Amino acid sequence: MGRNVQYITFSIVYGIMIFIWTFVYLNKSKDKVNESFLGFLTVVILWMVLSISIAGDDISTLGLVLKTIYFYSMLNMAVAFLLFIYRFIGRKLDGLFYMSVTINTLTILARYLFPIDYADPTFWRLTDPVVAPVMSALFSLPAVFALMLIVRHYKMTRDGKLRTQLRFVLSGTGLACLISIVSEYILPAYFGLESNLSLMYFAILIFIVYIFRSIIKFKFLNIQSDYVYRRLFLNSGEGILIINRHLTIVSINNLAKEILENKAIEPGDKITQLIKTYDFDTNYKQQEITIVVESGEKYLTMTQHPIDPDDRDSTKLLVVNDITSAKLKLKQEKELLMKRSSIDPQTGFFNKQYMLDYDKAESPELGNTALLFIDIDNFKSINDLYGHLAGDSILKSVAECIRCSIGSEAQVIRFGGDEFVVIFANPGKDEAYLAAEAIRTKVNALNLPEHYGDLTLSLSIGLAEGRVPVRELITQADEAMYSAKSQGKNRTMKSLVRDVAVEKGGRQQSQLLEP
């Protein structure tokens, strides 16, 4: 009956152990907590399998080898559990750990000083009333030390979730240790009772249930931490940095290094060396910033929030995205749209709106500028006589003559119905006048269709040049153009604008000169 209970208990506990072991193994990573817990489970399962499978009367070489492995796995479970607790609470392996391992090892070796009956599967038990408790205490020392560490960490931590996890581990470990001591030491040594390891399996069952509950409910293990870390952090489609209260980078993924164009960034560097305007206390939401990197200016968006919202000093998760391409494309589209809105569809030249914008954007440090104000002579009469379609055709022809007579640096504006303005920045000597004459000559020599009869086109052009605002040049060139008309049309008239500033509130003076 006792043996049947042992088999049933073994089957239940073994099934749960294999489920947990498989679960942890399939989600294993390089995380030391996972690895140590998996190692502990492996030792426990090995011991369980050997405890149920070896025959007490098997004294063959294989049987003795299996019993020895069984012996060592049993006595090293406490050490494996201590290692797991060290990893779990984040404590580095220290002298106390190695002392516990040393004492456990020496105790195992010291056991060979006593006679061993290999026919008994519980040969490690000692019936001597004095030696048995001492040996039990020594073998249990790592597990007891692990419990002390759990209690100490439980009292020190402020993290509510961690306290709950520790409470579950403490409860399960305490019950498991208590039952195992009763089953394997107290009952056999003092009362001569045999539980055939059923109580030991039950102790393991309690331990597994508590740990498993902690895994499922509180995510005690870092499940798939390697997968999650690499896929969601290192290989994220966004640049991610983890920043602490001291503005120090705790961690940074690959894309963030690419965005910030600094492959040398490492944890421990200051975030303010990369983003000058960064503020730890600000929870950014798609905040647009501009930074200067090796390739030039870069436009980024920043989003930041605390990892633990309840902790004011919690590390922050900073997400950065590179919007430089989108920003430049938007800027180009805006410029294209503005350009299109500033282009005269009939001639392809800039329109008057562009002229106004040009005037607003003009640099306060004025350079030498020349400006032509061109008007088609008798254009209203041409429109009245030949119609507006003919007038449009003539406008295009005149525009082509202007285009062919000036350099690529000059800007042409259709200022009004039949009026054009040409602006030359820092022109050469007589460059503007020669261009005006070339335009006028070409227009005058245009061969118009026969239905225009003997119509000949001519232009009146005013020219103004000086270191004054464009709007002032327009005024002076316009006056010169009207002067050209009043003197017979089909000519270029210069307006000499003085470059000497007049008293505040005064106007620039000019003289009209006919070439």
Distance, CA of 140 to CA of 98 (rounded, Å): 15
Hey, how many other C-beta atoms are within 10 angstroms of the C-beta on 137? 13
Distance, CA of 209 to CA of 179 (rounded, Å): 15
Residues 248, 270 contacting (CB under 8 angstroms):
yes
Distance, CA of 23 to CA of 41 (rounded, Å): 11
**Structural tokens at position 99:** 């002392």
Read off φ and ψ for residue 344, nearest 5 degrees.
-80, 115
Residues 443, 401 contacting (CB under 8 angstroms):
yes
State the distance between the two ends of the chain, measured CA to CA, in whole angstroms: 131
Hey, how many other C-beta atoms are within 10 angstroms of the C-beta on 293? 13
Distance, CA of 98 to CA of 150 (rounded, Å): 18
**Structural tokens at position 355:** 């002229």
**Structural tokens at position 310:** 């309840």
Residues 350, 411 contacting (CB under 8 angstroms):
yes
Distance, CA of 104 to CA of 85 (rounded, Å): 17
Read off φ and ψ for residue 456, nearest 5 degrees.
-125, 130
Length of the chain: 515
Write the CA distances from 442 to 38, 126, 394, 405, integer angstroms.
Answer: 92, 123, 13, 8
The catalytic site residues sit at 418
- 52-80 burial code (b ≥16 CB/10 A, e <16): bebeeeeeeeebeebbeebbebbbbbbbb
